[in-house]
Structure 1
Amino acid sequence: MKTSLLATLLLLLPSSLRADPITFAFPDSYAPLVWNDAGRIQGIGVDVLSIALKEKMGLEVVYKSYPWARAQEEVRKGYADAFVTVPTPVRLEYTVCSKEPLTVLEIGVYTYVDHPRRNELLQIKSYEELADFVLVEYRGNDWTRNKADDLNVIWADTLAQTYRLLAAKRGDIVVRNNFNFDYFMKNSELRNQIEKMPGILASLPLHLCIGKGSEYLSVLPAFDQAISELREEGIIEAIISEYGNGTLSPDS
């Protein structure tokens, strides 16, 4: 029944959509979800999209990577068709997002070891409580950019730089998802200098978001069906597990 429904949805796509590649704009250093390793774009997001879009839906896909702020501009200006991210009010102004998430990020607070206000940091359970601390953040994070007037923020160009600045005690905290932190610290010299606080600030779903001006908007129903099938088959969970034993490229 599911295969029949997916086939029906695909038949509704204009032939031009099935012939031309859909172009993704990804951040170049957001491992293990996605990163650029010497020109090869890889990660959990790439693997899931390749199976859903290429194998299940028969679409050609092109992946490109940029600093995250520029990647979002590529989609906003129509130079790329889509990205995978957390839908925010700003992003929804120029994209339409899938109903099914690829995965869900748990967002936590991280600080340097022996922080003098560690007991206070242990109690943080909401974004509002971050205002009393200096936050180290990477450019392109919509949530922080929208809250910048209420927060004391030190901006970095990459995720890796946020960890290095935190370890150097240039700021008090980094707010990060569990995938990125665990993967980065697995092989990092900083792993004994940064610790994770126990609280979870939010659980944020990652969705496929397609630019409103893209001719690929009509693929979203078929994509939702494909992702639902991959989740039921355990394929997404298996892909995530594979990256639990991975290694990070030196400049990610």
Structure 2
Amino acid sequence: MSGIIMDRRALLRGAGCAGLGLALGPHAARAALLPLRFVYADNVVPFSYADADGNATGLLKDDVDVVTSAAGYSQTTSLMPWGRAQATVRAGQADGFCTVPSADRAVYVQFCLQPVMTSDIGIWHRRDDDRFKAVGSLEELAAFSLGSYVGNGWATEHVGTIPTLAMVPDPVSVLKMLAAGRIDAFVHDELQMGYLARAAGLTGTLAYTPRPFLGQVVRTLAIRRSLPDCAAVVASLDAAILARRADLDALARRVRLGMA
């Protein structure tokens, strides 16, 4: 059965059934005794958000289910604002999260070396505007009116000083501004914004153009350094990511198809 059409629950069940059967080394048996407490941002569709019963769901949670189950762990989940989620891990009140590696987070967590998902960063623009295929640098991009949303770390770091940058509370509002012609472009990855554009009915109006100079978004698991045997835990998770790469890629394809 193709991974694209495989039922999401079947993917997760398959990873769970593998459990300790994977050749993940001597840490796997020890890992089976230890549930890991993961925290997620509470409203980042399609990556992490609450389902109808208030439980954590989304692509990141599914990815962590696949990886932890394959490594012989279980995970418990909590949803909260992202700033508080990071503080909770830093304080040792939770064990990990799944996010973009950064130097400030690496002070208190150890990131897996293997990514659970990688997504190109590109330029979202109106479908009838073909100027962005020729843009080759941030300096050239700054000539356009840009939009972003509060909490977008990439925009804050790379285009935050551009005077024409319009900031709004959430990414869907940026997409709607773009569709209405109030801004020229929105720099973001294709995975999340493609899903949101489809959900908002904007794919007929908006287009995405990848530009190599913008790089990629890489997300992976991170475990607090204060957790006993942190390095061994991370090693077993890295092995599980490699072993379950096909399942992780299939989950990402489902999001790209709007099937999450």
- TM-score tier by shorter-chain length is 0.7 to 0.9
Of 34, 41, 44, the residue aligned with 2:59 is 44
Written as runs of structure 1 = structure 2, the 5 A alignment for 1:222-233 is 222-231=236-245
Aligned length: 237
139-148 vs 176-185, greater mean Cα deviation: 139-148
2:247 aligned with 1:235, yes or no?
yes
Of 9, 31, 51, the residue aligned with 2:27 is 9
2:179 aligned with 1:161, yes or no?
no
- The Cα offsets for residues 137-183 of structure 1, whole Å up to 9 and x where unpaired, read as 23333232234553343333332222123223343221121211222
Match for residue 162 of structure 2?
A: 151
> What is the TM-score with the length of structure 1 in the denominator?
0.78
Consecutive unaligned residues of structure 1, counting only runs of 5 or more, are: none
Q: Secondary structure at the match of 1:189?
A: coil
Q: For 2:140 and 2:174, locate their aligned partners in 1 and report how far apart those are by CA, in whole Å.
A: 20
2:112 aligned with 1:94, yes or no?
no
- Contact kept, 8 Å, 1:78 with 1:213, in 2: the verdict is yes
- Contact kept, 8 Å, 1:50 with 1:61, in 2: the verdict is yes
CA RMSD of aligned residues (A): 3.0
Q: Secondary structure at the match of 1:191?
A: coil
Superposition deviation, residue 215 in structure 1: 4.5
Q: Secondary structure at the match of 2:134?
A: coil
Superposition deviation, residue 128 in structure 1: 4.3
Q: For 1:136 and 1:66, locate their aligned partners in 2 and report how far apart those are by CA, in whole Å.
A: 26
Of 119, 125, 128, the residue aligned with 2:136 is 125
Written as runs of structure 1 = structure 2, the 5 A alignment for 1:208-219 is 208-215=221-228, 217-218=230-231, 219=233
Superposition deviation, residue 42 in structure 1: 2.2
184-193 vs 209-218, greater mean Cα deviation: 209-218
Q: For 2:79 and 2:145, locate their aligned partners in 1 and report how far apart those are by CA, in whole Å.
A: 29
Superposition deviation, residue 244 in structure 1: 4.0
Which residue identity lines up with residue 188 of structure 1 in the other structure? Answer: A
Superposition deviation, residue 84 in structure 1: 1.5
Of 171, 178, 184, the residue aligned with 2:196 is 184
Which residue identity lines up with residue 109 of structure 1 in the other structure? Answer: I
Match for residue 203 of structure 1?
A: 216
Match for residue 6 of structure 2?
A: none
- Contact kept, 8 Å, 1:130 with 1:151, in 2: the verdict is no
Which residue identity lines up with residue 207 of structure 2 in the other structure? Answer: E
- The Cα offsets for residues 20-57 of structure 1, whole Å up to 9 and x where unpaired, read as 442222352231x333333243233222211221x223
- The Cα offsets for residues 190-240 of structure 1, whole Å up to 9 and x where unpaired, read as 222322225342123211122334457341000001111112xx2222222
> What is the TM-score with the length of structure 2 in the denominator?
0.75
Change in CA separation of 1:241 and 1:146 when aligned onto 2, cut-off 3 Å: closer
2:184 aligned with 1:172, yes or no?
yes
Q: For 1:170 and 1:66, locate their aligned partners in 2 and report how far apart those are by CA, in whole Å.
A: 32
Q: For 2:166 and 2:194, locate their aligned partners in 1 and report how far apart those are by CA, in whole Å.
A: 22
Q: For 2:197 and 2:224, locate their aligned partners in 1 and report how far apart those are by CA, in whole Å.
A: 34
2:125 aligned with 1:111, yes or no?
yes
- Contact kept, 8 Å, 2:36 with 2:96, in 1: the verdict is no
Match for residue 206 of structure 2?
A: 194
Change in CA separation of 1:40 and 1:128 when aligned onto 2, cut-off 3 Å: farther
Q: For 1:10 and 1:51, locate their aligned partners in 2 and report how far apart those are by CA, in whole Å.
A: 14
216-225 vs 78-87, greater mean Cα deviation: 78-87
Superposition deviation, residue 130 in structure 1: 3.0
- Contact kept, 8 Å, 2:121 with 2:188, in 1: the verdict is yes
Q: For 2:180 and 2:216, locate their aligned partners in 1 and report how far apart those are by CA, in whole Å.
A: 28
- Contact kept, 8 Å, 2:124 with 2:188, in 1: the verdict is yes
Written as runs of structure 1 = structure 2, the 5 A alignment for 1:9-28 is 9-11=27-29, 18-28=33-43
Which residue identity lines up with residue 26 of structure 2 in the other structure? Answer: T
